[in-house]
């Protein structure tokens, strides 16, 4: 073989090994994806661990009674003030009439007691007039005896002294009777204690009558409902569960290392599993300040230290609350429904469009989840 043929048989320097090229390309792509993931995890954090939350209110009667009317069914949509259940009103109607009659009776009794006060005051006036006359008679007797000791008998002297003493006792007794009548009457007018008690009893009876009608506290829906007419409703025992829809939010459980750049007011895009293919907008309301570690209090004891068996520690997650327009998701919200969330923490020329693209891809993938 000539030297020219040997040179032609050697690999050309300009050529490249295809395996090596593919390996370099794969490594480059992996590096780019890794860098993008690290940057996106801070600038456009994403989580699939998010759920719709709403206020849950048990429908609890304040009074006991048999249900006479049921105006809702399971999953009924209701507005604020709609009647849900009606309890038997008859006993409460009787209580209202009884309390009103008691109020009239109290008014009459106060009138009698007022008349007693006036009568006692009149008797006191008479007793004082009699005391004044007895005092003048006693004074005249004493004056005569001083000028002429023999002009009057001892019996006349005794009668004047006895009359004065009796008059004094009658005044004292009349004053005591007046005080007693005034104490029984108390304060006159609407501030009288018995009157206030009677009025309060009437108000309570009317209030309990109103409590026989159970109404919706706000706009929402009925859940966990399985009672019918004739069921005896116990005061304090729930009859149904009310899911409020006037205040609905999303709780996104973000990893702890996602929180560095998130702040209230940051825009959010999210996808509801109940609305595949659609992307909705919201904003950050608040960020949680703490979560339970799952361990009890260690007061008076040594701290409990947990150990991690795997190489990588499981990241801690914190709740991030997201607000959104209810009108945009009308009919799609379900308390406990799953959500995918992405947060845009700043205006990133490259990362934000990529984040919007990725959340839209996930919205279409929710068709097959």
Residue where the block lists tokens 């090994």: 17
Per the rule left: phi > 0, alpha: psi between -120 and 50, beta: everything else, 343 is beta
Condensed to tens digits (0 to 9), the pLDDT of residues 269-293 reads 999 988 888 899 999 999 988 877 6
Burial profile 98-121: b = 16 or more Cβ within 10 angstroms, e = fewer: ebeeebeebeeebeebeebbeebe
- Which of 254, 260, 252, 250 minimizes the C-alpha distance to 43? 260
Q: What is the mean pLDDT of residues 169-198?
A: 71
C-alpha–C-alpha distance, residues 55 and 38, integer Å: 36
Mean of all residue pLDDT scores within the chain:
79
pLDDT of 187 higher than 90:
no
The better pLDDT of the pair 143, 253 is held by 253
**First vs last Cα of the chain: how many Å apart?**
66
Condensed to tens digits (0 to 9), the pLDDT of residues 84-129 reads 999 999 999 999 999 989 888 877 776 666 666 666 676 767 767 7
Question: How big is the chain by its Cα radius of gyration, in Å?
Answer: 46
Residue where the block lists tokens 């108000």: 203
Q: Please give the sequence-ordered ranges of beta strands (E in DSSP) within the chain, or none if there are none.
A: 46-59, 65-70, 77-78, 83-87, 213-215, 220-223, 232-233, 240-255, 267-272, 280-287, 317-324, 338-343
**pLDDT score at 14:** 47
C-alpha–C-alpha distance, residues 82 and 86, integer Å: 11
**pLDDT score at 112:** 61
Reported pTM: 0.65
How much of the chain, in percent, has pLDDT values that exceed 90? 28
Per domain, the residue ranges of the chain are 57-89+209-240, 91-193
pLDDT of 150 higher than 50:
yes
Condensed to tens digits (0 to 9), the pLDDT of residues 22-41 reads 887 778 777 776 666 666 67
Q: What is the mean pLDDT of residues 146-159?
A: 68
CATH architecture entry for 57-89+209-240: Beta Barrel (2.40)
């Amino acid at each position: 073989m000539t030297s020219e043929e040997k040179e032609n048989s050697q690999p050309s320097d300009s050529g490249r090994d295809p395996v090596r090229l593919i390996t370099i390309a794969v490594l480059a792509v992996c590096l780019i994806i890794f860098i993008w993931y690290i940057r996106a995890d801070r600038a456009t954090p994403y989580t699939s661990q998010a759920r719709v939350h709403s206020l849950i209110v048990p429908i609890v009667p304040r009074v006991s009674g048999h249900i006479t009317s049921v105006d809702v069914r399971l999953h009924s949509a209701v507005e604020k003030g709609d009647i849900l259940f009606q309890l038997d009103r008859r006993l409460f109607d009787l209580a209202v009439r009884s309390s009103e009659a008691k109020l009239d009776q109290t008014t009459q009794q106060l009138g009698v007691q007022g008349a007693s006060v006036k009568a006692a005051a009149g008797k006191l006036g008479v007793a004082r007039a009699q005391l004044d006359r007895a005092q003048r008679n006693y004074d005249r007797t004493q004056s005569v005896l001083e000028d002429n000791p023999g002009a009057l008998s001892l019996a006349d002297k005794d009668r004047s002294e006895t009359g004065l003493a009796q008059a004094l006792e009658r005044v004292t007794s009349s004053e005591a009777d007046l005080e007693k009548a005034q104490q029984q009457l108390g304060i006159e007018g609407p501030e009288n204690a018995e009157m206030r008690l009677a009025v309060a009893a009437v108000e309570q009876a009317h209030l309990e009558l109103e409590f026989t009608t159970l109404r919706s506290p706000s706009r929402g829906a009925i859940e966990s409902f399985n009672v019918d007419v004739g069921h005896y409703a116990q005061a304090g025992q729930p009859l149904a569960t009310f899911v409020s829809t006037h205040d609905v939010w999303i709780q996104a459980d973000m990893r702890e290392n996602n929180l560095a750049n998130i702040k209230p007011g940051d825009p959010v895009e999210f996808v509801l599993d109940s609305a595949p293919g659609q992307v909705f907008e919201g904003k950050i309301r608040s960020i949680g300040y703490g979560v339970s570690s799952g361990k009890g209090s260690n007061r008076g004891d040594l701290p409990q230290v947990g150990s991690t068996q795997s190489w990588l520690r499981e990241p801690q997650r914190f709740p991030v609350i997201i607000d959104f327009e209810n009108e945009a998701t009308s009919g799609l919200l379900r308390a406990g429904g799953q959500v995918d969330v992405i947060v845009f923490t700043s205006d990133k020329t490259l990362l934000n469009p990529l984040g919007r693209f990725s959340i839209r891809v996930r919205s279409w993938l929710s068709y097959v989840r």
